[in-house]
Amino acid sequence: MNITLSNGENLSYVKRDGGERVLLLIHGNMASSVQWDLLLEEMDPAFTIYAVDLRGYGKSSYHQPIDTIKDFSDDIKQLVDQLDLRKVCLMGWSNGGGVAMQFAADYPEHVDKIVLLSSMSTRGYPAFQTNGERIHSRDQIVTDSGLNMMVEAQQNNNQAFFKAAMDQVLYSVNQPTEEQYQTYLEAATQQRNTLDAAHAANVFNISTVSNGVVDGTGDIQNICAPILVIWGSHDLIVSEEMTLEIIEDFRQAGINFRYAPIDAGHALLVDNVEAVLEETYKFINIA
């Protein structure tokens, strides 16, 4: 299924029918809605679930380049409006957590609760050059050799490149089934916004402090919904330091949140979907 945005983009999404409560799933980088397969199978039928492919990922189009995480947030607003989803629970994984937080800040009237799964920080996800130095500008993003290797691998459908990387840092605890893995690899090579997404994550900062590249927008102070922060204690992609930044910023903003570290890596649903569901059910009061 898909919708057409006012800018001419098409957003693809999948729907799992259920009860009156609505859960909107927002995937991370090098991914798409297919990474939510285990949650779509296991989640309590009390929820109707929507899983979107963000602009430039999966089956969604990519005609108008994104510049900031807010561009994704505004796309989702059009999705919510067209589907008449007046109040939703958001779940964002990795970079999708940043999109969820931005949406909750931009459109608080639409958000009931938020679950962040190994989310990028409230201060963004930093980009580094291969020599370890922090990237500060879009020009550095565009010319970075490491990022351009990823772009080339995506253009050439080089799934072996992504499998080698995923084996090392994403599926370091458990691996998906062979069939699942193939689907996830296809999603990684379908991404068409790699450089733009890296820039957007690098300059994302809804906090009230500088992240070393840009000052915080302070948008965090517009978030009204309670938030559950789940982080995998074996995560090699989102560090504990980034997660503690989230917690510090939520505390300073007076946000009602709960922190739940679990036994998993970055691929929380593959590693420990049971713990994700247990913490989520307690948080949203359906247990």
Q: What is the pTM of this model?
A: 0.98
pLDDT of residue 287: 41
Task: Identify the bridge partners of residue 231 per DSSP, sorted by sequence position.
Answer: 261
Q: 134, 61 in Cβ contact below 8 A?
A: no
Classify 38 as helix, strand or coil.
helix
| Residue 256 pLDDT class (50, 70, 90 cuts) | very high
Please provide the average confidence, as pLDDT, over all residues in the chain: 97
d(CA 231, CA 44): 21
Averaged pLDDT for residues 198-210: 98
Report whether 112 contacts 87 (CB < 8 A).
yes
Side chain identity, residue 67: D
pLDDT digits (tens, 9 = 90+) for 123-149: 999 999 888 889 999 999 999 999 999
CA 139 – CA 119 distance, rounded (Å): 26
Q: Which of 57, 53, 27, 56 is nearest to 39 (CA)?
A: 27
What would the DSSP string read from start to end of 160-201?
Answer: HHHHHHHHHHTSSS----HHHHHHHHHHHHH---HHHHHHHH
144 and 138 Cβ atoms separated by less than 8 Å:
no
pLDDT at res. 286: 55
Q: CA 37, 173, 155 angle in degrees (round to 5)?
A: 60
Model confidence pLDDT, tens digit, residues 21-48: 999 999 999 999 999 999 999 999 999 9
Give residue limits of the domains in the chain.
2-284
> Residue 23: which residues within 8 A CB-CB, separation 6 or more?
43, 47, 48, 49, 50, 88, 89, 90, 91
Would you place residue 185 in the very low, low, confident or very high pLDDT band (cuts 50, 70, 90)? very high
Q: Strands, DSSP E only, in 94-253?
A: 111-117, 227-232
Average pLDDT over residues 75-90: 97
Is the pLDDT reported for residue 253 higher than 50?
yes
- CATH, domain 2-284, list 3.40.50.1820, 3.10.20.30, 1.10.3210.10, 3.40.367.20: 3.40.50.1820
What local confidence, expressed as pLDDT, does residue 21 receive?
93
pLDDT of 272 above 60:
yes
Predicted local confidence at residue 132, as pLDDT = 87
For 88, the 3-state DSSP assignment is strand
